[in-house]
């Protein structure tokens, strides 16, 4: 019952009209869990202002980070950094960690960097990397919610997988993986082998139903893969999963 009430309130309050009014009143910068998030960019939907203000923005991920990822001093890999909200929040809770934030849409890299700058965050580096495999292509969207990966006939050598990231950025010690990449998690989990996750102590990930080559890949399939890699599911809310070794 409480969940239904929250969903109803969210639908009523978190919309582009409310967001636009909040955007105007706060001059494009919204306070979110003690952070200042600048959304004064045309490619960011005004609805995000309302989601930040009413704290519905990635609320499950926020709750999991608060509960399971505090004062960690290793490397944190974030896939799908969007406008830099989550990497800023992760940094706030883990000031001694090294955070690598990856975003497929290059237009958002300066936005991420600016939000880190105005919050005096110095332990996060943002990179433009597209998670995927050859034969698939990332298409940018009209705003920060519309990017997607689709099958393509193009030979796309720009796509990288988790192993590429570990090699390219010389990550050879313990790391935590945070992932919200709207379907591309398929390429992280099902196109990797166990050795890629040998140093990964925890995964906080949002899973989605994904159609690949006409086949439906469900979150249950990807959860089974994590278990096969030696992870235990310690928490779950809707499509958001916390897995630990």
User: In angstroms, what CA-CA distances link 153 with 25, 136, 156, 224?
Assistant: 46, 8, 9, 30
The pTM score is 0.89
pLDDT of residue 147: 44
- What's the Cα-to-Cα distance from 126 to each of 50, 82, 87, 92, 110, rounded to whole Å? 25, 10, 9, 16, 9
Domain layout of the chain by residue ranges: 1-56, 58-244
Calculate mean pLDDT across residues 123-152. Answer: 68
pLDDT at 151: 62
Under the phi-then-psi rule, with left for phi > 0, alpha for psi from -120 to 50, and beta for the rest, what region is 180?
A: beta
pLDDT at 245 over 70: yes
**Mean pLDDT for all residues in the chain:** 88
Distance between CA atoms of residues 1 and 152, nearest Å: 43
Q: Which residues are registered as beta bridge partners of 37?
A: 30
Superfamily holding 58-244: Vaccinia Virus protein VP39 (3.40.50.150)
Model confidence pLDDT, tens digit, residues 37-96: 999 999 999 999 999 999 999 999 999 999 999 999 999 999 999 999 999 999 999 999
């Amino acid at each position: 019952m409480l969940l239904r009430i929250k969903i109803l309130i969210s639908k009523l309050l978190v919309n582009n009209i409310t967001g636009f009014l909040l955007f105007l009143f706060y001059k494009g910068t919204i306070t979110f869990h003690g952070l200042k998030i600048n959304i004064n960019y045309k490619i960011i939907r005004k609805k995000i202002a309302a989601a930040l203000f009413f704290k519905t923005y990635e609320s499950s991920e926020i709750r999991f980070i608060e509960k399971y990822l505090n004062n960690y001093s290793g490397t944190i890999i974030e896939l799908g950094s969007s406008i830099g909200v989550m990497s800023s929040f992760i940094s706030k809770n883990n000031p001694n960690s090294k955070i690598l934030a990856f975003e497929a849409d290059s237009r958002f890299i300066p936005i991420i960097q600016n939000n880190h700058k105005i919050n005096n965050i110095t332990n996060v580096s943002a990179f433009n990397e597209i998670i995927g495999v050859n034969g698939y292509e990332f298409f940018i969207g009209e705003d920060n919610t519309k990017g997607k990966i689709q099958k393509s006939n193009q030979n796309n050598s720009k796509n990288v997988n988790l192993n590429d990231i570990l090699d390219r950025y010389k990550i050879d010690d313990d790391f935590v993986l945070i992932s919200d990449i709207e379907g591309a998690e398929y390429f992280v989990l099902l196109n990797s082998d166990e050795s890629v996750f040998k140093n990964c102590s925890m995964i906080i990930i949002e899973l989605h139903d994904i159609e690949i080559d006409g086949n439906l890949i469900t979150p249950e399939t990807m959860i089974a893969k994590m278990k096969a890699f030696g992870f235990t599911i310690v928490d779950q809310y809707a499509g958001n999963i916390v897995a630990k070794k």
